Amino acid sequence: MPLAFLAVLLPTLFWDRPVDTADALRKAGIERLYVPAGQEQAWRKQGFAASPFDRARAVQAVAPTVEYRMDVASATRVPWLDANGWRFDREPARVFFYDAPAGSAALAAAEAFAYGAEAAIRAAPEDLAQFAGMLHFLGEIDQPRLPVMANIGVLDDGSDTMAEVLNLLARHNLLFHVVPAAGLKYDLNIRQVPANADPYEFAMQIRRDLTDEKRLLRIYGSNVVLVRLTGDAAQARLHLLNYGKGTVKGLRVRVLGSYKNGRLSAFEHPGTQLEDYSVENGATEFTIPEMGTYAVVDLRR
């Protein structure tokens, strides 16, 4: 298990550039990294905690980003997101590899962390400082993992159609969890998707069947933020991932359940606090005044 040496399961930089780039890594604050097999000793001599990484054994993750595909989605309302959360949920035991172009490495790290996925991220040199900053932030907020909270249980048949359904459920923040067997724990269970089904219409029908009132989580004010929700009887943790290019301002969040207080941790926005916090009619609402790539909200009952 190549990751066994890590005390904390954080995403790790994959670096296949020459050892003479070590100063750039040190300057950014990188201490641990994956390297191609055979290069680990050279990097260890430079003082890095280096391990070999076999890309062939990893699942390729897409570079997280937003795309404005005019022929597929409305640029003003429903931009296309490349996200991996549904893939992580589908294959939780696998290791993932990101080849992250400039500007995407920090989000990739946050995404993998939010879903508890093991991931190696090949970052662009110009992203090193932000990537390292994200790793530092993740280390600060890390805590024992809480159970996944979801409205929908999914029995994954492994089909491409199901893959697209999972992608769309995640895209619309319809919280699901891939499970081995249907159970009473969920409001809805998906056992199969008809082979000729339109995945979008299928996902939207699930939303209608579930009803928005029963959804564990809703967000208002952005169509480029995806959310992961975990929790137990006493607490909940929301991971909010911003796939857009800019800062999201005034994001409103509604979580089903009454939580007395909440604490915001926002990457690159230290000190920012939740606003307009209310607990009413069995739901908790608050506003995140400003968030960049990633934010976490911890709620306590």
Partner 1 sequence: MHRRTFLQIAATAPAALAAKDRKVPKYRVVSHYQPAAQPGMPGPYPGQVASVHAANCIDEATEKPDPAVVREMMARGMRALTGDADVRDAWARFITPADVVAIKVNCSGAPGIMSSPVVVAEIVRNLMAVGVKPGGIWIYERFQDQVDSVHYDRYVPEGVHIWTAESTRGSTESYDPATYVEAAFFDEDDTRSCLIRLVGTRFTKIVNVPNMKDHGASGVTGCLKNIAYGNFSNVARSHSGSETNTYSFIGTLAAVEPLRSRTVLQVMDGLRGVWHGGPFSENRKFRFYPKRMLFGTDSVAVDRLLLDIIDDKRKAEHAVSVWDRSPKYLGTLDGHESNPNVNQFVREPGHIEYAGSLGLGVYDLDKIKVTSIEI
**Near partner 1 by CB under 8 A: residue from 222, 242, 284, 293:** 222
Task: Classify residue 231 as left (phi > 0), alpha (psi -120 to 50) or beta.
Answer: left
260 token code pair: 């007395």
* Encoded tokens for 298: 């911890």
- Which one of the spans 3-11, 73-81, 144-152, 184-192 is the region binding partner 1 (CB under 8 A)? 73-81
Q: Is 220 in the site for partner 1 (CB under 8 A)?
A: yes
Q: 90 or 171: whose CB is closer to partner 1? A: 171
| Stretch (H or E) spanning 105 | helix 105-114
> Of 173, 230, 284, 293, which lies in the binding site for partner 1, with binding defined by CB under 8 A?
173
Q: Is 252 near partner 1 (CB under 8 A)?
A: yes
The angle formed by the CA atoms of residues 106, 112 and 114, to the nearest 5 degrees, is: 100
Residue 77 binds partner 1 (CB under 8 A): yes
The C-alpha angle with vertex 192 and arms to 185 and 88, in degrees rounded to 5, equals 65
- Which residue lies nearer to partner 1 by CB, 49 or 204? 204
282 touching partner 1, by CB under 8 A = no
CB of 208 to partner 1, least distance (A): 8
Q: Tell the smallest beta-carbon distance from residue 184 to partner 1 (Å).
A: 27
- Closest CB to partner 1 among 122 and 239? 239
CA–CA separation, 75 vs 276, rounded Å? 30
Pairing between strand 32-35 and 12-14? parallel
- 3-state SS assignment for residue 84: coil
CA distances from 122 to 2, 13, 131, 207 (A): 17, 6, 10, 36
Count, residues near partner 1 per rule CB under 8 A: 27
Q: Is 62 in the site for partner 1 (CB under 8 A)?
A: no
Q: Does 139 bind partner 1 (CB under 8 A)?
A: no
CA distances from 131 to 10, 48, 99, 125, 134 (A): 12, 16, 13, 10, 5
- Vertex 175: Cα angle to 123 and 195 (nearest 5): 95
Shortest Cβ 122–partner 1 spacing (Å): 32
- Could you say whether residue 215 binds partner 1 (CB under 8 A)? no
Q: How far is the CB of 287 from partner 1 (least distance, A)?
A: 5
**250 touches partner 1 by CB under 8 A:** yes
- Residues within the interface to partner 1 (CB under 8 A): 76-78, 172-173, 204, 207, 212, 218-223, 246, 249-252, 276, 278, 280-281, 285, 287, 289-290
